[in-house]
Amino acid sequence: MAWGCQAGVEPAILTTMQNQTESNSTEPPATIKLGIDAHAKWYYVARQVDGATPQPVQKMTFDGLLHFIAKQQRIAGEVFTCYEAGAFGFHLHRKLTEMGVTNYVVQPQDWDERGKGVKTDRIDALALCQRLDRYTRGNLKAFSIVRVPTEDEERERAFTRQRGQIVRERQRLQAMGRSLLASHGIHVTGKWWKGKTWRAIQAEAPEWVIEHLEVYSRLIHPMEAQEKKMTEAIQAEGLQNQAKIPRGVGPLTFEVLRREVGDWSRFTNRRQVSSYTGLCPREHSSAGKRKSGSVTKSGNPRVRAMLPAAPPRARRRSWPWRGSSRWICGACSPGKPPRRSWG
C-alpha cells in the first residue's frame, strides 16, 4: 500500500485532512506558556505552545530572556510566564508586566512529586511550565500565587526588616560577650557593655578578655544607636494611625504588622489569615481517623512571631470587657470570680 493511501481513508478525504493540517500549522498560536527557574546569573526556561508537549528547557541570561519573551509576544496572541518567589525579589515580575506579559510569582515548593530524589534547574522549569498550563486552563490549585507588593510597600517593609536584622545581630554580639564571660566564671545579664556591669567586668575579668569584649562593644554601640533611631521612626509612623491600632497592640508592633501584610483587604475569611500566618493546625486524616498536630508554620514567620504576645496584652488592657472572659478561667485570676474559658 502506498504511503499516501491509508487503510479506510479515501484519497480525496486524505488530501482534505492534509490541507487542513497545513493550514492549521500556519496559524499563530493563541497562547505560549513559559516556566522560568530564576537564578542570579542564568535563567532556565521551559516553553509550551498552546496545549502541546513542553519543549526542551533553554538556558539564557537576563537580557536574553527579555529578548526571547519579546519574540514570543510577536508570535502568540498572549504570553504567560511564572517563576518562584525567592531571593531575587519582584524585579523580573515588574519588568515582564511592563512588557505586557501576564506573569505569576508562585510559592516555592518541592516539584519532585514522585519522590525520585532528582532535582535540577531544568526539571524545576519544566514543572513550573506544566503547572502554569493547568492554571491557565482553570485549575486554580495548580500552584499558590504570591501577592506582589507595590514599590512603596516593598520600601517600607525593607525598612522594618532591616531593623529586625540589626536587632538580631546586636543580640548575637551580646550573646558572644556573655558566652566569653561565662567561660571565666563571670555571669552577667542585660547590657553588659554599659554602666556598673561593665565596670565590674573590667575589675574582675582578665585583661585579654577585656580586649575581646571591647571589640564586641565597639560593634554594638553604633548598632544600638541605629536600632533606636529606626525604632523611633517606626513608632512615630504607627502613632499617626493611633485610631486604627487594636487593643493590646503597641504602635511598633502595629506598624511592623501593617508593613508586612501590606493590604489587609486581600483576606476575605479567617482561613486565609490563618494560612498566611502559618497558625493553622497540621492534620493527618485517613481511613476514618483524624489526627491534628501543631501549627504548620508555613506562612510569614515575621508576622507569626509577633502574634502570640498580642492576646495576653489585650487581656490585661481589656479586663472589664465581657468578651475577654472567654480567654480566662477562674484559676488564672486570683480574687476574680470564675469565668468561662474557651474549653
Asked if residue 181 and residue 112 are part of one domain, the reply reads: no
Q: What is the pLDDT of residue 166?
A: 97
Asked if residue 343 and residue 316 are part of one domain, the reply reads: yes
Q: What is the pLDDT of residue 3?
A: 43
Domain end point (choices 221, 238, 258): 258
The C-alpha cell that represents 234 in the structure block: 517606626
Asked if residue 84 and residue 35 are part of one domain, the reply reads: yes
Return the DSSP state at 59: E
In which region does residue 338 sit, left (phi positive, over 0), alpha (psi from -120 to 50) or beta (all else)?
beta
- Residue 126 domain flag: yes
CATH label of the domain that carries residue 122: 3.30.420.140
Residues of the chain predicted below pLDDT 50: 1-23, 327, 329-343
Asked if residue 184 and residue 101 are part of one domain, the reply reads: no
- Residue 177 domain flag: yes
Q: By residue range, what is the domain housing residue 97?
A: 25-136
- Cell 551580646 appears where? 174
- Residue 282 domain flag: no
Total structural domains in the chain?
3
Which alpha helices (DSSP H) does 183-206 contain, by range?
195-204
The C-alpha cell that represents 273 in the structure block: 489569615
Q: Please tell me whether residue 283 adopts helix, strand or coil conformation.
A: strand
- Residue 275 domain flag: no
Q: What is the pLDDT of residue 209?
A: 95
Name which of 109, 53, 114 is nearest 85 in CA terms.
109
Contact between 154 and 90 (Cβ < 8 Å): yes
Domain end point (choices 194, 223, 258): 258
- Residue 88 domain flag: yes
Which pLDDT tens digit goes with each residue over 45-72?
999 999 999 999 999 999 999 999 999 9
Name which of 131, 275, 75, 25 is nearest 283 in CA terms.
275
Which alpha helices (DSSP H) does the chain contain, by range?
11-26, 62-75, 91-98, 121-136, 151-182, 195-204, 207-239, 251-261, 270-277, 301-306, 310-317
Q: What is the pLDDT of residue 288?
A: 85
Asked if residue 216 and residue 193 are part of one domain, the reply reads: yes
Asked if residue 120 and residue 54 are part of one domain, the reply reads: yes
Name which of 237, 92, 53, 211 is nearest 157 in CA terms.
237
Asked if residue 254 and residue 161 are part of one domain, the reply reads: yes
Q: Please tell me whether residue 85 adopts helix, strand or coil conformation.
A: coil
- Residue 128 domain flag: yes
Strands 102-106 and 78-84, sheet pairing: parallel
Q: What's the pTM?
A: 0.78
The partner residues of 284 in beta bridges, in order of sequence, read: 291
Dihedral sign for Cα 266, 271, 273, 276, please: negative
- Residue 283 domain flag: no
